[in-house]
Amino acid sequence: MTLGTIMMDVSGLILTQEEKNRLSKPSIGGVILFTRNFESIDQVKELIKSIRLINQNMLISVDHEGGRVQRFREGFTHLPAMAKLGKVYDQDPKLALEQAFSCGWVLAAELLDIGVDFSFAPVLDLDYGHSHVIGDRAFHSNPKAVVKLAGALIEGMHEAGMKCVGKHFPGHGHVALDSHLDLPIDERSMNEIRQDILSFKGLINQGLDAVMPAHVVYSQVDDKPAGFSSKWIKDILQSQLGFAGVVFSDDLSMQGAHFIKGIAERVQVSLDSGCDMVLICNHPELVEQVIDLNWPKCEKLHLMKGIKPFNLDKIAHNNHRQNIQSLL
């Protein structure tokens, strides 16, 4: 099964006719949902069902990490910011790993139950204390702790039946600027950046299904942002680190992606650099500019599908929720 390599978003609680037309195009392989797409569990299930009526193989995704980045709230377990797990880990590593597993299981099971295939989680960036956009989304400042905690969270996601996406390769935590609003430049040497890469490297053979590169320029390594850099994706991530999973671009409408002016060229360079699927969010006019161009399809993307059909184990759900109560 091959899928189109563009992931788009939709504007509201139900599909417009224009969105139905876009979703039927062969270049579209996925949809990312936001808070504006959620009113209730029943409503979002209907929205997802209407997307699948157009293309049953469409990948449905969401940013659902916990803490301040959790798109769906009403009827969902409020997940903690991952930094809370890091704090527990410093006092009681065994408990923290159990709680991380439970967070991963609950995150995955509740999303699978409404028809979402995967979340863009976990964040593998290190917390250096001066990136507000990352901040408490990071598990820890120590890559060994991040590997342990994120590894346990991923195990929980996998146990429930969901694939994971580690972000933002090779690490967004050291730069203060927010790549949604600016193009951050990390001027550290490759030797210094290796500390951040350890979070990804440690999970490549421990269940890391997909990776999202950062819209950050690491000027001592390459003059292009990582998501537009074949050096970062093909040479370092894939060749040197041996990552064979799926690579998603970060949102190509973000300010950090304006390194390349035109949206068609952004898509082209992302795909040429090693991305398997590109995200274009909050700007349907940009999707319109590229939707009818002859983009490749990708067989690897079907690996991100969640379990179908999914049956929520209510006893396990309750037990895992109880296990994370102290974090909330």
Catalytic residues: 180, 250
Backbone φ and ψ for 50, nearest 5 degrees, come out as -70, -30
* Order of strands, sheet of 165-169, starting from the edge strand that comes earlier in the sequence: 118-119, 59-62, 28-33, 6-9, 277-279, 246-251, 210-213, 165-169
Residue 65, both tokens: 């990490």
What CA–CA distance (Å, rounded) separates 299 from 78? 34
